[in-house]
């Protein structure tokens, strides 16, 4: 809420909230669509969903255009560096 209020005070033109596909939980149907039921299964997922709701509730009240993006984890075809922890890989910077 503090960030949203700061955006209002600073007269930010638009806010885009980066959420996560984790808000869908472990669904049996893939790929997910935006109409899929939201079933967050972790504190992280619940906090992302709560953040979405804050933006959707706050932004229209102060005429702040908003956008929500639910992203999925993605990896390079051939990761440049693989972590010592099994299954972790680097994600390239956007260019």
Q: What predicted TM-score, i.e. pTM, was given to this entire model?
A: 0.69
Q: Residue 28 falls within a domain, yes or no?
A: yes
pLDDT of 24-83, one tens digit each? 998 877 777 888 899 999 999 999 999 999 999 998 888 888 888 888 765 545 555 444
Q: What is the pLDDT of residue 55?
A: 92
Any domain includes 66: yes
Whether 84 is in a domain gets the answer no
On whether residue 44 sits in a domain, the answer given is yes
Q: Is residue 11 part of a domain?
A: yes
Residue 40 domain flag: yes
SS3 70: strand
Contacts of 65 (CB under 8 A, 6+ apart): 13, 14, 15, 59
Q: Report yes or no on 78 lying in a domain.
A: no
């Amino acid at each position: 809420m503090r960030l949203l209020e700061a955006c209002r005070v600073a007269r930010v033109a638009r806010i885009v909230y980066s959420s996560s596909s984790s808000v869908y939980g472990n669904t049996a149907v893939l790929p997910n669509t935006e109409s899929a039921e939201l079933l967050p299964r972790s504190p992280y997922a619940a906090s992302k969903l709560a953040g979405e709701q804050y933006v959707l509730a706050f932004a229209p009240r102060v005429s702040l255009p908003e956008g929500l993006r639910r992203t999925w984890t993605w990896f390079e075809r051939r990761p440049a560096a693989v972590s010592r922890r099994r299954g972790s890989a680097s994600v390239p910077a956007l260019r």
